[in-house]
Structures are given as structure tokens and as C-alpha cells.
A and B are shown apart, each in its own frame.
Chain A
């Protein structure tokens, strides 16, 4: 799996509208690193255009793609484990759109509500807002679909549909209130794109996702126990409620952070854990990290296509992930229709 990610990364690094000879990548990367290390910045006088394009545009994009894919894969695996249901997905049950709605509200209304919000805070308010939106949505869905014996999938999916509809309505209202420029940006953002990734955000996302992955690993065993049933897990001495809360917070954190960074990227969280389970079985100790890795590879691949198919223009990333994700999702629905 790690090899797959590496392959995707190297493949995508050599792909792009701006032609960079793959054989020269190591040299370019090394030079960029050297320049950075010497503190001259990416745009040092001695840097070639190739190096600039790679270091300031393509590389942060790749890193962000890895982080976003890993985060979404992880969040999907956590939610599917938590809800004990293969159809749970941050996008499907409304977490992504909840995060997007919160962030979009801040974008369009921010100037109105918090005129004193200093720009110097950078993207932190937005990231936190998206996180809060994702968290509220997750708890709402979770609370609605809880019954004595576990979560009711029908209720969860319906709640997700309702939340998605509400978020769409909210976004529609915001786009009505927004200026032309904001509207264009909103649309681009709803489709998901890595096009505006800069280093600070890419690195922030990386740190958040890495921490989340490390913490999620400690949930693997409890989630395995929960898979047998919550009562059973309690008897085995697993802190069920604590596990659930932590899983929900982690999933909301990574999804909120990624949504704030690059918009809504659909279906990765749904499909990646699923493939992993087909290949490697249901043990969460494997499923959690492998889903993250597979998600990362998927997003990096998808973005490589987004960047090259209609070069020199670009496709929104969300379009591509949905194009691949939806047929897979429908196939899965067919398989699991008995459960719904």
C-alpha cells in the first residue's frame, strides 16, 4: 500500500501542464530543498522556472493531495467502524457539507459578522469553523441514529440526506448573497480543488492528518471489539462511549480541516476503506492505516488527471472523484441493499 502511494506520488510529480522531465525531478527536488534549507526561499535568483513551478505549485499540491486523501480515507474507515456500516462516509452522511456550509458562511458573511477579525489569523478561523461545522453535523447524525443496540443505518442515511439538503440550501442562500467573485469561488470550492494550495496549508493539513492517523491507531482494537456489538465490547472492558467520541472528533477534525483547505472531495472516504476490507479483511489495525494510504494514492492520481486532461485549464477534482466514486458506490449499494 505504501508502495502504491509512492508510485502515485512519483507518477503525479511528473505529470502536469508544465512539462518537467521526470528524470530531472530528483535534481529539481534536491535543489529546491537546498534553497529552502539555505533560507533563500523557493524563488531564489538561481532557481530555474522548472524548479519554481515544482517547488511552489506542484509539490505543495501533491502534499495536500496526500494529506486530503489520507484524511478522507481515515475518516471514512473510522465512521464505517463506528457506525458498523459499510455505507458510512463523511460526504454521504453530511459531515463534509456541514463543514463546507460553516466555512462558506464565514467566507460570505465573515466581513459582516466579524469585521474585526484580523487577516493576520490567516486560515485558522476558517479551518476551525469548518471543523466545528463538521463536528456539530457528526454529533447530530450520531445522536439521531443511536438506538439501544447500535446505530440505525436507515436513520443515519436519511439524516445525512436531510443534512446535505439543508447544507445545499444554506449554500444556495449564501451564493445568492455573495458577490459575483465570491460566487465563482464558492462553486469552484464546492467541487473541490487543490489548485490554490500553498505550503502553510499543505503542511498544516499534513500535521493534522498525521496526528489523527496516530491517534486513530489506538482506536483500532476498541473498534474491532465494537464490531462484535457494543454490549459485547463493554463486557470485554472496552470504553465504548469514549471510543465513539474520540472517533467522531477525529473524523470531524480531519474532514473539517481538509474541507476548509480544498473544498468538498467526495467518495474517497466511502470507497477507500471498502477496497481495503475486500483486500485485507476487516481488522481495523490494518483497515485504518491502509484506507488512509489508499485514499492518498487515489486523490493524488485523480489530481494528476485533473491537472492534465484539459491542460492548460484544469478540471475540478471533485468532478473526477465523483465520476469514479458514484459507479462504485452504486455497485456497493446493490451488494448491501438487504441491509437498508
Chain B
């Protein structure tokens, strides 16, 4: 679907629609909405914007919501997406749907003046509609890095008018991060980078993480090697591929373990029986939003992951 404003009939009559958004389908990065009168920040937030200082804020990212609570700015929060489930209080804010399946009217019905999210939020058309309605939309570029966490903290600081507290939080986490990364680097340098496999088993067939995923970056940051090379995104787990990849350790989420009915059940999957990890039942399981959300708990997650990996590889 072309995503342009109703400028004039010629725009579509000539078929010269500005940008293609095929139904809710074309995945394309959010672009600035060239629209006089609608104040919109459709490009990733770069920290040079004037303070947003929202009165009514909607967060479309679990990590951003978490930071809002850390900065004690939750009175400003009028809504969040379904991934915002930590801390527990965040679960009680009105939910505008899953981060990639938002509905413009639903978001606007909560009368926000600012919407913050990551570039994973969508569909892009909906974000543009929200911006067109005069709501400031600020997005953080999502690239699964430590810098992403810092960007998120600064954005929330701006959006809630608590820049000073945000800066303190960023520095505190940076210290944690540096310590953790020093340990990781030391063990990688000592040749202790176990071959790990990330399994996502929240529903249906377990999926394994390839490149360009949050999990892949996480394994690297935790000082492990991802055994799954050569494809992007997630793929279903298959027995032969498992045997071939020979992971020494399985990394997964506690939610996934609960979903299959505990670690026993998890290891009972025939695909895993042929892996080195199976011999010692080597597994590290961490809470999903901590592990994959790239929020303020990332240093802890990396530390826990790293320690788990060390324990498996003496």
C-alpha cells in the first residue's frame, strides 16, 4: 500500500504513489513523514532532539518499559505493548497489542502525546498514522548491541524529562557492563569459547537461532560461539543438523522450559540426544525478557550466561 498522505488525486491517479507499503506487508524502516503540521520523529532517535518531556507516554518495548520503571517515571505511562511484562506492575498497564501488530486507533485512544519504541515496532503504516495524528513517535535503532541499551536509557530519559537520572543509570550499567565484558574477553582469550546453540521453544516446534538474531548477538557477547552458521533468523530444530552442529551447551529461556514441562522433558527431545551437550545435560536457561530484550538487565544476563558457560567448561 502506498504510504502517503492525501495530497491530491494526482498522486494515486498517476500511480506515482510515494512509498510502497504492500498491505501490512512491506517491511520497511520507518521514514520521516513529510507532512507539514504533523510533528513526527520517525527516524531513530539520535539524542539531539529537544527534550520530549511527555505527559502521557506509551512504550512499545519491554526494555523501554523496564527503564521507565527504573527511573520511577511510571506515572507517565498510559499504555504498553504485550512484551512489557517486567516489572510485574508493567503488566497492568493497558495493552495496545503485540509490538509488530499495533493498531493506530487503539494507540491513539489512550491519548498519548509521545510513543517510544524500537525499530522492531510496526507495521510501519500504523506508526506513520500515529505520527500523523500529531503524536511524537521516537524509535531506537534495534541492532542487538550494548549501545542499543544505552540509547534506550537516553531516550527514556528524554521522554520522561529525567535526563540526569537516566545518565546515572547509564553510567552504573556501563560499569557493570565493562566488568562483565572484561571477564568474557579473558576467558575467550584463554580459548574457552564453548560451542553453543540457542533454542527458542515457547510454542510448537523448537526453533534454533541463526545469524541476525538477538540470540546470536547474545551468545557472542557472553563469550560463546553460535554453532548455527549460514542462515538468518530462526529455523526449526532438526536431528541431523543438531548432530552436525555438535553444540557443547544449550542456551534457552526459562519460559521455554516451562512451556515444555521442565528440563527433563526438554532433554527428552530426540533431536538433542546426538549432541555433546546431551552427555552432561549442559544447559543455561535464563528469563526471556532479560535474555533477549536488550534492556537494563543485559549486563546481569550476560554475566549469568558467562558463568553458566564457564561452569560447563571447566
Contact = CB atoms under 8 A, between A and B. Distances in A.
B106 A122 contact: no
A180 interface: yes
Give the interface size bracket for A toward B. Answer: 35 or more
A41 B7 CA distance: 6
Interface stretch (A53-61, A153-161, A245-253): A53-61
Interface in A72-118: 103-104, 106-107
Contact of A122 (B2, B111, B132, B232): B2
Contacts of A120: 16-18
Contacts of A179: 27, 232-233
Contact of B23 (A43, A53, A263): A263
B49 interface: no
A121 B14 CA distance: 10
A308 B20 CA distance: 28
A262 B2 contact: no
A181 B106 contact: no
B70 interface: no
Interface centre among A47, A196, A313, A314 (most CB of B within 10 A): A196
A311 B109 contact: yes
Contact of A262 (B12, B23, B26, B79): B23
A199 B9 CA distance: 10
B103 A313 contact: yes
B133 interface: yes
A123 B2 contact: yes
Interface stretch (B118-126, B158-166, B217-225, B296-304): B118-126
Interface stretch (B90-98, B186-194, B240-248, B265-273): B90-98
Contacts of B123: 185, 188, 195-196
Contacts of B132: 42-43, 52, 56
B1 A123 contact: yes
Given A56-B133, A182-B27, A312-B109, A42 B5 contact: yes
Contacts of B8: 39
B260 to A, nearest CB: 21
B24 A196 contact: yes
Interface in B1-47: 1-8, 11-12, 15-27, 35-38
Contact of B122 (A104, A107, A124, A181): A181
A179 B26 CA distance: 12
A200 B4 CA distance: 8
Interface string B189-208: 00000000000000000000
B238 interface: no
Contacts of B100: 181, 184-185
B23 A126 contact: yes
Interface string A21-43: 00000000000000010011111
Contact of B1 (A44, A182, A200, A311): A200
B17 A49 contact: no
Contacts of B110: 312
Interface in A111-162: 119-126
B4 A19 contact: no
B312 interface: no
A201 B106 contact: no
A195 B108 contact: no
B85 to A, nearest CB: 15
Given A43-B38, A49-B108, A307-B105, A312 B94 contact: yes
Contact of B97 (A16, A47, A313): A313
A182 B28 CA distance: 10
B231 to A, nearest CB: 10
A312 B5 contact: no
B65 to A, nearest CB: 16
B176 interface: no
B105 A58 contact: yes
16 contacts: A18-B105, A18-B108, A40-B36, A41-B35, A41-B36, A43-B134, A52-B133, A123-B2, A184-B101, A188-B24, A193-B24, A196-B125, A199-B12, A201-B2, A307-B106, A313-B101
Interface of B: 1-8, 11-12, 15-27, 35-38, 79, 94-98, 100-101, 103-111, 120, 122-123, 125-126, 129, 132-134, 213, 232-235
Interface of A: 16-19, 36, 39-45, 47, 49, 52-53, 56-58, 103-104, 106-107, 119-126, 176, 179-182, 184-186, 188-189, 193, 195-201, 203-204, 260-263, 307, 311-314
